[in-house]
């Protein structure tokens, strides 16, 4: 028996197709994502296109900020000016293959530290599906207004 959380009801499915891997092209079924993929210079490529780490960083940051706003709304806390900066690093892992690590820097202007910490902790532990998916598999470092998540 699996201990994975199961989706009770799919409400949206994103669809994309890649041809050519890291040196290829990605396009979503609706055409809104339509990008050339290129291996970054830091990984021996020529750059000049997006890459899976950028796309993951953008997706995680957007999803995480949505989770923060959801939690803040439940707590009736205004988070005007909220933002999330994300970094997704990739490199060789022990043994073989590659691994990623993530840094999320949440900014909640005008929200006191204790409340900001509580909102972000709840978003990370209970709400954000990207956080659920990475937990136990990816090192995710979260900070709030410049301070590590407690």
Q: Are residues 86 and 136 in the same domain?
A: yes
Q: Are residues 83 and 11 in the same domain?
A: no
Q: Are residues 43 and 55 in the same domain?
A: no
Q: What is the CATH number of the domain that holds 33?
A: 2.20.25.10
Q: Are residues 35 and 45 in the same domain?
A: yes
Q: Are residues 98 and 138 in the same domain?
A: yes
Q: Domain range spanning residue 119?
A: 51-148
Q: What is the CATH number of the domain that holds 131?
A: 3.30.300.20
Distance CA 40, CA 83 (A): 26
Domains: count for the chain: 2
pLDDT at 88 (0 to 100): 98
- DSSP bridge pairs for 106: 84, 144
Q: Are residues 58 and 27 in the same domain?
A: no
Q: What is the chain's pLDDT, residue by residue, as a tens digit (150 residues)?
A: 455 678 899 999 999 999 999 999 999 999 999 999 999 999 999 999 999 999 999 999 999 999 999 999 999 999 999 999 999 999 999 999 999 999 999 999 999 999 999 999 999 999 999 999 999 999 999 999 999 998
Q: Are residues 79 and 63 in the same domain?
A: yes
**pTM across the whole model:** 0.94
């Amino acid at each position: 028996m699996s201990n994975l959380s199961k989706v009770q009801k799919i409400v949206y499915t994103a669809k994309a197709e890649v041809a050519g891997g890291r040196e290829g092209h990605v396009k979503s079924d609706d055409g809104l994502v339509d990008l050339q993929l290129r291996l970054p210079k830091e990984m021996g490529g020529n750059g000049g296109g997006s890459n899976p780490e950028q796309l993951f960083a953008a997706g995680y940051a957007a999803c995480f900020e949505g989770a923060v706003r959801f939690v803040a709304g439940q707590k009736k806390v205004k988070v005007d000016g909220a933002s999330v900066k994300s970094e997704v690093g990739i490199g060789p892992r022990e043994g073989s293959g590659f691994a990623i690590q993530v840094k999320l820097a949440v900014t909640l202007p005008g929200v006191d530290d204790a409340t900001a910490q509580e909102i972000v902790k709840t978003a990370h532990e209970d709400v954000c599906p990207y956080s659920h998916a990475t937990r136990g598999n990816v090192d995710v470092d979260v900070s709030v207004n410049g301070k590590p998540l407690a």
